[in-house]
């Protein structure tokens, strides 16, 4: 087996058992002033990202990373929330898959990829004192062998209205070359940004915190421009004064920055 490592070709001995883990949070913000509009927003999010929508996203991720989808089960809950379990593998079927349908307060999806997995969870959250809603999506793609989760990054970011994105990527374990030397990474990477299209990055303030020696990569993204009408929800926001619009814009910008920095201001 030949692999490109740091710009050179390396022949590996046996199975490539490196584990590549991609984990990130996507945050979508909204403002709804009245309690009725806040409830309507939660209902909208629940419908927009129900189990069928999550199932379709995970199916496409499976295709993008060249895995095989074996089985999918879905469950939606009342009043809101859903769960999905997707079984996938690399090149052979899975017999008698075990499926859990426990009630969850949020939408969830779990995919098992042979010795790897894909998971996604949604968390709609509301602050009634400010009228700000934060819809969070947590996604984890952990693979081993030839499959790379980085290939699905652009698609996943594009699937959601991503105001803030926090991404972690790590390569763990080791495999060996034919001379018995350990190989701790099997592909070139200096930043997660290398795997995100420039037209996407241009919309965000982006910076990295990387530990290259340990194959640990972290990237933060925050939308540069706030188009206020894209963040307003409910009929009562139609007649906002310029002063009120400025107050809401400042509120949204502060919320974004706090999530981006993981700190209260």
Positions annotated as catalytic residues are: 116, 121, 144
- Using an 8 Å Cβ cutoff, are 221 and 41 in contact? no
Helix/strand/coil for 227: coil
- Using an 8 Å Cβ cutoff, are 144 and 20 in contact? yes
- Give me the sheet containing 216-223, strands edge to edge: 68-76, 82-89, 107-113, 116-127, 132-144, 19-31, 164-172, 216-223, 204-211
For residue 47, what is the enclosing H or E element?
A: helix 35-48
Joined tokens for residue 106: 């949020």
13-16 long-range CB contacts below 8 Å, 24 or more apart? Answer: 13/175, 13/176, 13/177, 13/178, 13/180, 14/175, 14/176, 15/145, 15/175, 16/144, 16/145, 16/146, 16/175, 16/186
DSSP code at position 214: G
């Amino acid at each position: 087996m030949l692999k490109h490592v740091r710009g050179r070709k390396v022949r590996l001995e046996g199975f490539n058992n490196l584990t590549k883990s991609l984990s990130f949070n996507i945050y979508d913000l909204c403002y709804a002033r009245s309690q009725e509009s806040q409830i309507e927003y939660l209902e909208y999010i629940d419908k927009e990202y129900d189990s069928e929508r999550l199932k379709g996203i995970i199916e496409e991720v499976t295709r993008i990373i060249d895995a095989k989808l074996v089985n999918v089960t879905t469950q939606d809950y009342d009043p809101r929330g859903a769960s999905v379990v997707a079984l996938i593998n690399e090149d052979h079927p899975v017999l008698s898959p075990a499926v859990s349908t426990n009630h969850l307060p949020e939408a969830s999806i779990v995919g098992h990829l042979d010795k790897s997995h894909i998971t996604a969870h949604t968390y709609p959250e509301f602050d009634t004192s400010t009228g700000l809603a934060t819809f969070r999506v947590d996604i984890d793609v952990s693979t081993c062998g030839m499959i790379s989760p980085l290939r699905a990054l652009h698609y996943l970011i594009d699937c959601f209205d991503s105001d803030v994105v926090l991404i972690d990527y790590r390569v763990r374990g080791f495999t060996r070359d034919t001379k018995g030397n350990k190989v701790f990474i099997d592909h070139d990477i200096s930043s997660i940004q290398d795997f995100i299209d420039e037209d996407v990055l241009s919309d965000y303030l982006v910076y990295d915190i990387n530990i290259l020696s340990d194959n640990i990569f972290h990237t933060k993204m925050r939308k540069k421009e706030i188009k206020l009408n894209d963040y307003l929800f409910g009929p009562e926001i139609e007649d906002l004064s310029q002063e009120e619009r400025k107050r809401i814009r400042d509120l949204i910008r502060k919320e974004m920055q706090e999530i981006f920095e993981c700190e209260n201001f």
